[in-house]
Amino acid sequence: MSLKEKYLKDVFPELQKDLSISNVMDVPKLEKVVLNMGIGTYVRNGNKDFSSLQEHMALIAGQAPTVRYAKKAISNFKLRAGMPVGLSVTLRGEKMYDFLERLINIVLPRVRDFSWISKKSFDWEWNYNFGIKEHTIFPEVPHDDVIKTHWLQITVKTSAKSKDAWRALLNGLWFPFKK
């Protein structure tokens, strides 16, 4: 059973009953997943071609990333305006559920000494944020092409309006939280 089917058949009715929500539009759901990768140090060290990182990000996400550019020059960081500093992908719908299913069932269990993810990494809008130290833990990334490993920051945006709704939604989707 896919993650989306599990949400629609099991988690959705359970959330509606447990949180005593009468309107089905108020039941918390996943809205989008945003993946970010910083490439500022890679570009600053003289590598002008970051197409391999774009390809890796496209393989991980299933769609092409957009390049983010610096808006202002900051001399202490050796940053110039218009310099590429990151890659970003926003996933919605089927691609979002496919990515989360791969992340939860395949990628995170592959990490050596995996000690679960923290329950404290949510912001004031009840979105869950966490980082992965190496983008090479995804099986789609070819290891021979990797010059330098990069962090990958993942944001899971939910429509939850309280801490209880947020926690019930992500626990229902089998997120591997610390006990």
Under 8 Å between Cβ of 169 and 11: yes
Q: How far apart are CA 43 and CA 54, in angstroms?
A: 13
- 3-167 folds as 50s Ribosomal Protein L5; Chain: A, (3.30.1440)
Mean model confidence pLDDT for the chain: 82
Of the candidates 118, 148, 122, 144, the residue with the CA atom closest to the CA atom of residue 135: 148
CB 81 within 8 A of CB 72: yes
pLDDT tens digits for range 64-108: 999 988 888 888 877 788 888 889 999 999 999 999 888 888 887
> Is the separation of the CB atoms in 41 and 85 below 8 Å?
no
Q: Where are the domains of the chain?
A: 3-167
For the ranges 32-41, 84-93, 135-144, 168-177, which has the lowest average pLDDT?
168-177
Which tokens sit at 164?
Answer: 């209880």
Confidence of residue 159 (pLDDT cuts 50, 70, 90): confident
Confidence of residue 179 (pLDDT cuts 50, 70, 90): low
CB atoms within 10 A of CB 102: 17
